Chain A
C-alpha cells in the first residue's frame, strides 16, 4: 500500500467538497493510504504570496514539515496549492536565510523542516506512481464512447521553470489517463488556457469572458464533459456556468467533472459515491456511464 499525507486545500474542504469525498473513495479503491493533515492551513492562493511572501513561505513550509514529520510524500488535489508548495520548497532550498527564518518560526510548534518532502498532485500519482498498466487493471467499467475535454488549468503546467518535465504548450497527461480509462479525449481551444479564478472574487467578468469560448469549443468538438485536475477551475466552469452561458448567448449545459470522479466511474464507483450530484451543472449525461455489474459493457 502506498501511503501519502493528504492536503486537500480550502476548495476541496468547502465549495468543492465533492472533490475531497471522491478523492478519498478513489484512493481507497486504489489502495492508497491517505493521512489527512488536519491542522494544515491555506497555502495562501495568489493573494498571500503576492502581499506577504514571508507569511506565504512559512504557511507552505509548515505544511511540508507536517508531512515530513510523518515521513510521507504529500498528495495534493489543487493546481494552485501544488505550485505554491513547489515554489516554497524551491525557495527553501535556494535561500538558506529564508530557511532559517521559517524554521525559527515553526519551532514554536516543535516543527523543523529539513527539505525532504516530495509533493505530488493526484494526476501524477495516477500516471507515474500507480502507473498506466496498474491502473488499467483496475478499470472494470471502461468509459467507452465518453468524449471528454481536458481543462488543465495553469498552475499544473506553468511556469516552465517549475514544470520542466511537461510541455507547457501541450500537456497530455489527462489525455493519457483518459485513454487508460477507456474514454476519448477531444482537442479544443481551452486545454492549456486560464479559467480566471484568481480574479473572480473581485471581478467575475474576467473569468466569465475567459472561459465562455472554451466551453463552447469543447461542446462543438463533441465533449460530453470537461475534466479538470483543479477545484479552482472547476469552481469557475461549474459554478459560474449560468453566467458564462448568458454571456455567450448559448445554452452550454457542460458537466464539469473532477479528475478523481472520472477515474472513479471507470473503476466501478457509483455516481452517488463520487458525489456527482453535488455539482451546479447537472451531470445527468454521465449517469449512463455508471458501472452496472449485471450487464458489463
Chain B
C-alpha cells in the first residue's frame, strides 16, 4: 500500500532535503571553520590543519575542499570527478560520518578526514586496492549453468528485486568505512559491505551457476555481519544493504553452503521445536566442548537465574512451540 503524497507535502519534503535547506543556518560570507587531516605517507605523520572558508550560497563539502586547494593549500590531496553523486570517488568523513563531498551540505564547524578501513595514500585519498582484491576474488561475473536460450530471458522484476538494488552501487566506499566489523581487521574474514554489494549483483541473479555462487560465498565470512545497519545509514545510493543484500546472500549461503550458516540453522531448529530461544541450548549446540571453557560464566548465570538447565532438558511443548512448529515446518528449510 503506497501512500501518495499531496503536491504540497511532496514539495515540502524535497525542499527540506535540499542543499539550500541544509545550509539555511549560514549566510553568504559567514566563516566556516574547517580542519582537514593531512597525512604524509612518506613520513607516516598525520596532523590537523585549520582553515577558514567564507560561506557561499548552496555550498557543499566539495566546494570547501576546492576553496582550500585554490586559496590556502595547493598541495591538498583529495579525489573527485563527476560532482553529482555518480562516480563515487569523493567520499570522506565529515564530523565523524561518511559523506559524499559532492552531495553533503557544509556545516559551520567541520572536521574532514579520509575514510576508515582503507590505507591512506595522502591526505584525503585512500587506496581502494584491498576492496578491489576482495571483489576480484569473488569472481564477480555470471556463469550460466545452461546455454543462453535467446531473448527475451524468462526473468521477472521479482527475480531481480535484490540484484537490481545492488546495481545502484557507486562504489564510494562509505559503507566499507562505516563497518565496525571491517574495522576489527584480521579478527574475522568478513568481506565488508561494499564487496558484498558487488557480489550480490551477480549472486542474486537467478541465471548464475549455483556451484560458482557457492564458491564465492565461501570466501565472504558473511555470517560475521553484526547487522548494525551502519552501512545502510551512510549509503548515498540508499541501497538497503542489510535487508536486500546481506540477508539474501545469507539465505543463499544457508541453502548452498549450510556449514557456513550453522548458527542460523541451529537457531531456527530451536525455534521450530520450542517456539522461543533457549540460550543454554543454543550455546551448547554451537560451542559444544568450547562451552566448557566458560564454566565460570555458566555458574554466574545459573546463580542469578539467567539460565535454567531444567527448562533446557524438559523441552515443554508450549502453545508457542506448537505454533512455531506448524508455521515453520511448512517452509522450505527443515
Chain A residues within 8 Å of B, Cβ to Cβ:
10-11, 13-17, 38-42, 44-55, 58-59, 62, 87, 93-94, 105, 108-109, 154-155, 158-161, 168-169, 193-194, 196-199, 201-203, 205-206, 209-210, 239, 242, 277-280
Given A15-B301, A193-B180, do A50 and B251 touch, yes or no (CB 8 Å)?
A: yes
CB pair B331–A54 under 8 Å, yes or no, is: yes
**Which residues from chain A contact B304 at a C-beta distance below 8 Å?**
277-280
Taking CB atoms and an 8 Å cut-off, the chain B residues in 224-260 that contact chain A are 224-230, 232-233, 240, 242-243, 246-247, 250-251, 254
A87 CB, nearest partner CB in chain B, Å: 7
Asked whether any CB of chain A lies closer than 8 Å to the CB of B265, the reply is: yes
| Closest A residue to B324 using CB positions | A41
Given A13-B276, A242-B297, do A51 and B268 touch, yes or no (CB 8 Å)?
A: yes
Taking CB atoms and an 8 Å cut-off, the chain B residues in 248-297 that contact chain A are 250-251, 254, 261-265, 267-268, 271, 275-279, 282-283, 286-287, 296-297
CB pair A47–B226 under 8 Å, yes or no, is: no
Beta-carbon contacts of B174-213 to A below 8 Å, as 1s and 0s?
0000001100100110000000000000000000000000
Asked whether any CB of chain A lies closer than 8 Å to the CB of B97, the reply is: yes
Beta-carbon contacts of B63-101 to A below 8 Å, as 1s and 0s?
000000000000000000000000000000000010000
| Closest B residue to A197 using CB positions | B226
Given A55-B331, A206-B224, A280-B301, do A17 and B271 touch, yes or no (CB 8 Å)?
A: no
Asked whether any CB of chain A lies closer than 8 Å to the CB of B306, the reply is: yes
CB pair A198–B226 under 8 Å, yes or no, is: yes
**Which residues from chain B contact A14 at a C-beta distance below 8 Å?**
276-279, 306-308
Please measure, in the bound complex, the distance between the C-alpha atom of A41 and the C-alpha atom of B270, giving whole angstroms.
11
Contact of B223 among A54, A202, A279 (CB under 8 A): A202
CB pair A15–B276 under 8 Å, yes or no, is: no
**Which residues from chain A contact B265 at a C-beta distance below 8 Å?**
51
A169 CB, nearest partner CB in chain B, Å: 6
Given A15-B279, A47-B267, A242-B296, do A198 and B227 touch, yes or no (CB 8 Å)?
A: yes
A99 CB, nearest partner CB in chain B, Å: 10
CB pair A48–B267 under 8 Å, yes or no, is: yes
Which of the candidate stretches B105-113, B121-129, B315-323 sits at the interface with the other chain? B315-323
B283 CB, nearest partner CB in chain A, Å: 6
CB pair A10–B277 under 8 Å, yes or no, is: yes
Asked whether any CB of chain A lies closer than 8 Å to the CB of B330, the reply is: yes
Q: A17-B306, A154-B230, A159-B242 are in contact. List 5 more A-B contacts (CB 8 A).
A: A42-B275, A42-B324, A52-B251, A158-B230, A199-B226
CB pair B267–A39 under 8 Å, yes or no, is: no
Interface SS majority for chain B: helix
Taking CB atoms and an 8 Å cut-off, the chain B residues in 298-317 that contact chain A are 300-301, 304-308
CB pair A62–B327 under 8 Å, yes or no, is: yes
CB pair B187–A45 under 8 Å, yes or no, is: no
**Which residues from chain B contact A40 at a C-beta distance below 8 Å?**
320
**Which residues from chain B contact A155 at a C-beta distance below 8 Å?**
227, 229
| Closest B residue to A99 using CB positions | B1
Q: What are 11 A-to-B residue pairs whose CB atoms are below 8 Å? A: A14-B277, A42-B324, A44-B271, A50-B250, A51-B333, A52-B251, A55-B328, A155-B229, A201-B286, A210-B180, A242-B296
Given A47-B267, A50-B247, A51-B265, do A62 and B277 touch, yes or no (CB 8 Å)?
A: no
Please measure, in the bound complex, the distance between the C-alpha atom of A49 and the C-alpha atom of B264, giving whole angstroms.
9
Please measure, in the bound complex, the distance between the C-alpha atom of A48 and the C-alpha atom of B225, giving whole angstroms.
14
B252 CB, nearest partner CB in chain A, Å: 9
Chain B residues within 8 Å of A, Cβ to Cβ:
1-2, 97, 180-181, 184, 187-188, 223-230, 232-233, 240, 242-243, 246-247, 250-251, 254, 261-265, 267-268, 271, 275-279, 282-283, 286-287, 296-297, 300-301, 304-308, 318-321, 323-324, 326-328, 330-333
B284 CB, nearest partner CB in chain A, Å: 11
Please measure, in the bound complex, the distance between the C-alpha atom of A37 and the C-alpha atom of B225, giving whole angstroms.
31
Please measure, in the bound complex, the distance between the C-alpha atom of A201 and the C-alpha atom of B227, giving whole angstroms.
14
**Which residues from chain B contact A54 at a C-beta distance below 8 Å?**
331
| Closest B residue to A44 using CB positions | B271
**Which residues from chain A contact B327 at a C-beta distance below 8 Å?**
41, 55, 58-59, 62, 105
| Closest A residue to B290 using CB positions | A204
Please measure, in the bound complex, the distance between the C-alpha atom of A155 and the C-alpha atom of B333, giving whole angstroms.
26
A186 CB, nearest partner CB in chain B, Å: 18
Please measure, in the bound complex, the distance between the C-alpha atom of A161 and the C-alpha atom of B232, giving whole angstroms.
9
Given A158-B232, A159-B233, do A278 and B267 touch, yes or no (CB 8 Å)?
A: no
Given A16-B306, A105-B327, A278-B306, do A205 and B187 touch, yes or no (CB 8 Å)?
A: yes
CB pair B328–A52 under 8 Å, yes or no, is: yes
CB pair B187–A154 under 8 Å, yes or no, is: no
**Which residues from chain A contact B243 at a C-beta distance below 8 Å?**
87, 159
**Which residues from chain A contact B250 at a C-beta distance below 8 Å?**
50-51
Please measure, in the bound complex, the distance between the C-alpha atom of A160 and the C-alpha atom of B233, giving whole angstroms.
6
CB pair B324–A108 under 8 Å, yes or no, is: no
Contact of A50 among B188, B254, B332 (CB under 8 A): B254
CB pair A169–B233 under 8 Å, yes or no, is: yes
Please measure, in the bound complex, the distance between the C-alpha atom of A128 and the C-alpha atom of B282, giving whole angstroms.
36
CB pair B271–A42 under 8 Å, yes or no, is: yes
Please measure, in the bound complex, the distance between the C-alpha atom of A46 and the C-alpha atom of B267, giving whole angstroms.
10
B242 CB, nearest partner CB in chain A, Å: 7
Please measure, in the bound complex, the distance between the C-alpha atom of A59 and the C-alpha atom of B97, giving whole angstroms.
36
Contact of A52 among B275, B277, B331 (CB under 8 A): B331
A204 CB, nearest partner CB in chain B, Å: 9
CB pair A51–B264 under 8 Å, yes or no, is: yes
CB pair A209–B230 under 8 Å, yes or no, is: no
**Which residues from chain A contact B324 at a C-beta distance below 8 Å?**
41-42, 59
Contact of A159 among B229, B277, B278, B319 (CB under 8 A): B229
Please measure, in the bound complex, the distance between the C-alpha atom of A198 and the C-alpha atom of B264, giving whole angstroms.
10
CB pair A206–B228 under 8 Å, yes or no, is: no
